[in-house]
Structure 1
Amino acid sequence: MMIHIACNIDHNYVRHCAVTLVSLFENNPKETFTVHIIARELSETDRNILTALAGKYNNKACYYTPDAQMLEGFTIRATHNRLSLAAYYRCFLSALLPEDIDRVLYLDCDIVILGDITPLWRTPLDAHTGVAVVEDTGCKELQRYEILQYPAEDSYFNSGVLLINLVYWREHHIAQACVDYYRTYPERIIFNDQDLLNCVLHRHKTLVGLQWNVQDGFYRNHPAISPEWHRTHAEILRHPVILHYTNRKPWNYDSQHPLRDVYFQYLDLTPWKGERPWHSVKNRFKRFFRLLPFYIGMRKAKYIRLASL
């Protein structure tokens, strides 16, 4: 069985893409993957690194350079300091990928894969379903639906993990629908590609289990998430299949994510083996003073303690 994976990146995310891919290959050794990498400005060295990593596991990497005009007029709003316009390329996968591929699993590259993804890959996608997704941690925020102008009953999904029905996308011209919607309602699109895809596909999706996109917010001490919810989902939080660092990244000097170290386990299987943000004396000092209020109890812990669930 061939499993098709898609990532859209720029040069700054090559190492993080390498971590995502190595974790995928390591934890799915019996599967065969073709990785479709959408990027405009990768160097030959960047491509060689990713190609070699895929080849080491007997998998294949393919590269696509989209036309810059594809994103003419698009802008990055929320989290503009972490995202580039490349984030929108996932909206055009049906136009970019070969027509003989009928489904693809899109993965952000702030993700590590920690288990068997074949159950997700085999999720039924009927003629009325454009995508299989996991609800976003912000799906209970009613203001989002007021801005996006669709019913809260349709929910709101995270766009970092998308099992895409490419047949549906081609038949319903989803790539063009995204362009048309953005040009018509640019003021509604705050969370970039995620808002756009929710607007276009909110009636044509299927929701899958949380284990397929365990987001940073699920680990947070937040009024919207009760201790009972954390206890109910303790097994998924401890053992996610797809772990998604949606907010502060593990490579940020001040990351407090309880599974931060998992990222570095897989980084050490890439050409960046051994590199750590705390190797910088400056970052160690910055981390100490940034986290000091949490250490001495002046501020409440941002994240739950997995051992206490």
Structure 2
Amino acid sequence: MIHIACNIDSNYVCHCAVTLVSLFENNREETFSVHILERGLSAAEQQTLTDLAARYGNRAFFYEPMPEMLAGFTIRKFSKRISMATYYRCILSELLPRDIDRLLYLDCDIVVLGDIRPFWNTPLDGIGVAAVEDIGSTDAPRYEVLKYPMEEGYFNAGVLLINLEYWRKHDVARACIEYFHQYPERIVYNDQDLLNSILYKHKVFVDLRWNVQDAFYRIPKPQDAEAWRAKYGACLKHPVILHYTNRKPWDYDSQHPLRNEYFRYLDLTPWKGQRALNNPLNRIKRFFRLLPFYIHLRKPKYIRMTDL
């Protein structure tokens, strides 16, 4: 049994469905329990996700944390896109059944394109989390704000293999709550900053293929291109967990080179056929938004997959 967790509100039910379908489709030999931390989902929305899991022989469970558990928390970066539900992952150990000692947390702007069993089997002895370095981990000012050494690194919190036994033993949920109230000015990137602040000494970094973030597909500087291709080429060409961390594939102006992977799995959900570009107005907006790239007034942002 592999335990998966997601946290969503009503705005992300469709995207959660895509993440789950991609996971189930590419891991048919596995059995999953999906633990969905939610905020205000209707009975119909819960049933949709329950039915989706059941279609693959899996089960979905729903948890709605009491608002007072996150009293005083605020959203900083990307507040138009992220709700308070983002902090639910910080208190996972308080919400899930105590007989679950290992958990794979996935954001719902993700598609899973391969076998996750090797990642699931990552040793977690004595550590709180296994994760992939964030694309911003070389940003020195971030460490100045968070007050810990840059050599410890900084992980992306969108994909986390969590040692729940460790979290309970060391009361990570309580530590997150206390840290936020003590140092709110340090928390810029919401729960990601918070979890890094608590777990920076108690984590292990894993291979990029387990969380291939948007910015890794951006065109490198010419002097870095050869080293970049050697380091990232294989993972970018064959990601296992593809994470749309910037513009989302469902946005009308997405330029991500693998945005169509999202729609491949969307069409296996009740939202089959839905596209932003079905709206003629969005087609016009996309044309004018991308026109500077078409006529070479702006340089392309993303690599071409054929260049890998």
**TM over 0.5, shorter chain:** yes
Whether 1:61 aligns to 2:67 is no
The answer on 1:199 being equivalent to 2:197 is: yes
Amino acid at match of 1:179: I
Aligned partners of 2:15 and 2:223: how far apart in 1? 29
| 1:39 match: secondary structure | strand
Q: What residue in structure 1 maps to residue 288 of structure 2?
A: 289
Indicate which of 228, 231, 251 corresponds to 2:229.
231
What stretches of structure 1 of length at least 5 have no aligned partner?
none
Could you tell me how far 1:171 is from its partner in structure 2? 0.4
Instruction: Give the match's secondary structure for 1:226.
Output: helix
1:181 is aligned to 179
Structure 1 residue identity aligned to 2:201: R
Q: In the alignment, what sits opposite 1:79? A: 78
Over residues 170-225 of structure 1, what are the superposed CA-to-partner deviations in whole Å (9 max), with x where a residue is unaligned?
00000000000000000000000000000000000000000000000100125599
Residue of structure 2 aligned with 1:134, choices 110, 115, 132: 132
Separation in structure 1 between the aligned mates of residue 213 and residue 290 of structure 2, nearest angstrom: 22
Q: TM-score when scaled to structure 1?
A: 0.98
Q: What is the CA distance between 1:228 and its match in structure 2?
A: 2.3
CA separation of 1:134/1:179 partners in 2, compared to 1, >3 Å: closer, same or farther?
A: same
| 2:118 corresponding residue in structure 1 | 119
2:148 corresponds in structure 1 to 150
* Percent identical residues: 64
1:81 shift after superposition: 1.4
1:171 aligned residue (169, 175, 181): 169
Give SS of 1:190's match: coil
Distance 2:7 2:239 in 1: 23
- Alpha-carbon distance between aligned partners in 2 of 1:264 and 1:217, rounded to the nearest angstrom: 20
TM-score (normalizing by structure 2):
0.98
- Secondary structure at the aligned position of 2:33 is classed as strand
Tell me the distance in 2 between the aligned counterparts of 1:119 and 1:265: 24
SS at match of 1:104: strand
User: What is the CA-CA distance between 1:229 and the residue it aligns to?
Assistant: 3.9
Give the letter aligned to residue 118 of structure 1.
R
Question: How many Å apart are 1:230 and its aligned residue?
Answer: 3.4
- Letter aligned with residue 241 of structure 2: I
Alignment correspondent of 2:262: 263
Aligned alpha-carbon RMSD (Å): 1.1
